[in-house]
């Protein structure tokens, strides 16, 4: 089953709504629309035990990295009013469709 299209895109600033990292803010590094997940910088950090692999220049040991979070557990932070907000869509005069903050009505897309 294919994932739903998310209003959250790469490099958006988001806040986590639920889970052990509730309230943390971070930048979206990767969006996985097929799995309805996003990877957020500094959120849901896990420890991964890795074996050394000299062919790939990988050192062994314990590596910390971000794990994916469900997209429904994060909410976009508006760059203008800096508040967590839902996203609306608006069609501009030149025909472009842009994302809009539901609180301040400011355009989220650059």
User: What is the third-level CATH fold of 1-77?
Assistant: SH3 type barrels. (2.30.30)
Whole-angstrom Cα distance, residue 6 to residue 4? 6
Neighbours of 51 (CB within 10 A): 8
Residue 36 is predicted with a pLDDT of: 93
DSSP assignment string, 8-40: --TT-EEEE-SSTTTT-EEEEEEEETTTTEEEE
pLDDT digits (tens, 9 = 90+) for 41-97: 999 999 999 999 999 998 999 999 999 999 999 999 999 999 999 999 999 999 999
- Domain borders along the chain are 1-77, 80-110
pLDDT digits (tens, 9 = 90+) for 1-56: 566 678 899 999 999 999 999 999 999 999 999 999 999 999 999 999 999 999 99
Residue 5 is predicted with a pLDDT of: 73
């Amino acid at each position: 089953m294919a994932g739903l299209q998310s209003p959250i895109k790469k490099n958006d600033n988001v806040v986590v709504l639920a889970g052990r990292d509730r309230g943390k803010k971070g930048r979206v590094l990767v969006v996985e629309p097929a799995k309805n997940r996003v990877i957020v910088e500094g959120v849901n950090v896990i420890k991964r035990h890795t074996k050394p692999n000299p062919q790939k220049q990988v050192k062994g040991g314990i590596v910390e990295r971000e794990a994916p979070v469900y997209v429904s557990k994060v909410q976009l932070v508006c760059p203008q009013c800096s508040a967590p907000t839902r996203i609306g869509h608006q069609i501009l005069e030149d025909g472009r469709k842009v994302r809009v903050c539901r609180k301040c009505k400011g355009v989220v897309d650059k």
